Amino acid sequence: MRYRLTFVAGLALGYVLGTRAGRERYEQLKKSAREISQNPAVRNTVESATQQGREVAGKAFHSVSEKVGDKMPDSVADRVRSLRERGQGGAEDDWGTSNT
In sequence order, the 6+-apart residues with CB closer than 8 A to the CB of 33 are none
Domain extents in the chain: 1-38, 50-88
| CA–centroid distance for 96 within its chain | 14
The pLDDT value recorded for residue 58 is 84
The pLDDT value recorded for residue 28 is 85
Q: Which pTM does this prediction carry?
A: 0.45
pLDDT in tens, 53-89: 988 988 887 887 777 766 777 888 788 778 877 765 5
pLDDT in tens, 11-69: 888 887 777 778 787 788 889 989 998 999 999 999 999 999 988 988 887 887 777 76
